[in-house]
Amino acid sequence: MDKPFAITLDVGSSLANKTGSWREERPQYVHRLPPCNHACPAGESIQQWLYHAESGDYETAWRELVRDNPLPAVMGRVCYHPCEGACNRGELDETVGIHGVERFLGDEAIRCGWRLSVDAQPSGKRVLVVGAGPSGLSAAYHLTRLGHAVTIRDAGPVAGGMMRFGIPQYRLPRDILDAEVQRILDLGVTLQCDAKVTNIRDAMRDGGFDAAFLAVGAHIGKRAYIPAGEAAHMLDAVTLLRSMEGEERPLLGRRVVVYGGGNTAMDAARTAKRLGATEAIVVYRRTRDRMPAHDVELEEALQEGVLMKWLSTIKRADEGKLVLEKMELDASGFPQPTGELEELEADSLVLALGQEADLSLLDGVPGLVVEDGVVQVDARMMTGHEGIFAGGDMVPAERTVTVGVGHGKQAARNIDAWLRDAEFVRPPQGEPIGLEQLNVWYYSDAPKTVAPQLDAIRRQSSFEEVAQGLDEANALFEARRCLSCGNCFGCDNCYGVCPDNAVLKVDEGDGYAFDFDYCKGCGICVQECPCGAIEMIPEPT
């Protein structure tokens, strides 16, 4: 790693100075796994790029970041940042604003025009990627940088997948998405839009591809059987959000009801408000604590005036009204009908009941296993058919941009190994380090920077971006709040507190070593290391 590191050495040759007989334990430097890195679905080395960011070396930080994730400006906006949920600093005061720093670095790269290169020698292998969403773009990016020739085919008119057709512009501005997609294409990736793959084996054979990665997004909205009159206006949330990318926006009326409880339901309701709805009401059959939508999505929807109707289900839709039935939760938390009905006026009903991927391109492919609408893959992300890999929305996993990007990277490494008749072996990782293993008395309280937001009135009638980014000063402050959990960052504490001068600097500024001719095993260095990067081990016999 690029951060200051520490090693353990026996230096000196005078037997008279040996202190090994005095010790029962000796210190050693360790590299432990930061919990933020461990929690990141994209597999980012978060602590490493934060280290560069906190020194103000933003380009180096960005280049470290994009080793794993080619879409940092996108991810800094739409990721639900599980890294922050795992951050040890959250138990001290508040979590480090990792996603805010990531967004700052991504935006800085776009502003400064930082480019990427392919340093690997061409492999002579060709890979077909089906789908230009986050997983497909990630796979194409990593495969290209590994030396393979990649072609992306997408059924849509432009790249982005569900990032473009499922995430509203007030969360993800299209110029940001376009810039990061173009940077990937500039590496030499071939993109073919309006090019739906109807049979994957035919496409591979006709195109001379050696392997394929399938990353078809979940673009098909699920339907529920709701008796409806001929004049009832019903549509699914996927269709609504997709239509926002066209020139003609849908007419929903003044009172819009959204049926569902996920993030897509929140997006649909917030979009309805921006299209002029006086009231946008989300009907959900459970309670808030059982809602699949992320808290931040619900809170922002409530701020914008979206109304919630809990413990309700829709029994019938007619022109201008809906018939709802009140529900109650049983002992297991499952909603049960009560027979109590009520009417709710509505000009439109938007169904946000989940999404499915179109898997028709897999028809007739031997060995493939499809269960519950998703393709089964092994640890390599390979399907049951040799050379065909899959990820993103079409495999069993949480459907988020971050998970999709991680799938693309993981699949690319395994495809690369498979094409070279090898096996990708993931480097070993240690156990995540907890707050109790840090010496936090060295850190003063430094509350998390709260990023500004567009005011509520403008949010209800505009598709301007809601969440604003951190400026340089705040991004630098957030990066410096990192505790560097489990890894040496060159603070000199061990060097300064050792009573026996047994800690040596190795290549000035590049880590430390123990001189065991003088170390007496007192353990003060362990007690004074703020980041838990030293441990005591039994003295070798």
Judge contact between 317 and 226, C-beta under 8 A.
yes
Judge contact between 305 and 458, C-beta under 8 A.
no
Residue 22 token pair: 């005095």
Burial of 228-247, coded b for 16+ CB within 10 Å and e otherwise, reads beeebbbbbbbbbbbebeee
Percent of the chain with pLDDT over 90: 80
Judge contact between 527 and 518, C-beta under 8 A.
no
Task: Say yes or no to pLDDT of 14 above 60.
Answer: no
255-259/220-221 β-pairing = unpaired
Give the pLDDT score at 509: 57
Over residues 231-242, mean pLDDT: 89
> Alpha-carbon distance 388 to 213, whole Å?
6
Domains and CATH numbers, the chain: 15-31+487-538 (3.30.70.20), 126-220+356-419 (3.50.50.60), 224-351 (3.50.50.60)
Q: How confident is the model at residue 415 (pLDDT cuts 50, 70, 90)?
A: very high
Query: What letter would DSSP give residue 321?
Result: E
The 10s digit of each residue's pLDDT in 379-400 is: 999 999 999 999 999 999 999 9
Q: How confident is the model at residue 440 (pLDDT cuts 50, 70, 90)?
A: confident
Give the pLDDT score at 17: 59
Q: What residue ranges in 260-320 does DSSP mark as E strands? A: 279-283, 307-309, 312-318
Give CA separation, 94 vs 91, 97, 448, 478, 480, in Å: 7, 9, 6, 11, 13
3-state secondary structure of 130: strand
Over residues 141-161, mean pLDDT: 97
What's the chain's length in residues? Answer: 541
Cβ neighbours, 10 Å, residue 422: 10
Q: How confident is the model at residue 16 (pLDDT cuts 50, 70, 90)?
A: very low
> Alpha-carbon distance 293 to 81, whole Å?
14
Over residues 342-360, mean pLDDT: 93
State the Rg of the chain over Cα. 27
Q: How confident is the model at residue 337 (pLDDT cuts 50, 70, 90)?
A: very high
Judge contact between 404 and 134, C-beta under 8 A.
yes
On average, the pLDDT of the chain sits at 92
Task: Say yes or no to pLDDT of 252 above 90.
Answer: yes
Give CA separation, 289 vs 123, 281, 333, in Å: 51, 18, 10
Rounded to 10 degrees, the C-alpha dihedral 162/164/169/172 comes to 80
The 10s digit of each residue's pLDDT in 66-78 is: 999 999 999 999 9
- Which residue's structure tokens are 């600097």? 505
Task: Say yes or no to pLDDT of 10 above 60.
Answer: no
Q: Which of 409, 448, 452 is nearest to 71 (CA)?
A: 409
Task: Say yes or no to pLDDT of 8 above 70.
Answer: no
> Alpha-carbon distance 279 to 272, whole Å?
8
Give CA separation, 159 vs 129, 214, 239, in Å: 12, 15, 17
- Which residue's structure tokens are 């993800």? 172
Q: How confident is the model at residue 13 (pLDDT cuts 50, 70, 90)?
A: very low
Residue partners of 315: CB distance under 8 A and separation at least 6: 226, 227, 323, 324, 325, 341
Burial of 317-327, coded b for 16+ CB within 10 Å and e otherwise, reads beeebbebbbb
Q: How confident is the model at residue 446 (pLDDT cuts 50, 70, 90)?
A: confident
Give the pLDDT score at 11: 46
Give the pLDDT score at 459: 86
> Alpha-carbon distance 212 to 201, whole Å?
9
Mean pLDDT is lowest, of 202-206, 226-230, 380-384, for: 226-230
Task: Say yes or no to pLDDT of 15 above 60.
Answer: no
Between residues 364 and 135, the one the model is more confident about: 135
- Which residue's structure tokens are 């959990």? 485
> Alpha-carbon distance 64 to 205, whole Å?
37
Give CA separation, 260 vs 95, 131, 333, 366, 399, in Å: 31, 27, 17, 36, 16
Judge contact between 191 and 159, C-beta under 8 A.
yes
- Which residue's structure tokens are 């938390």? 333
Judge contact between 342 and 327, C-beta under 8 A.
no
> Alpha-carbon distance 533 to 459, whole Å?
46
> Alpha-carbon distance 192 to 216, whole Å?
14
Q: How confident is the model at residue 12 (pLDDT cuts 50, 70, 90)?
A: very low
Task: Say yes or no to pLDDT of 264 above 60.
Answer: yes
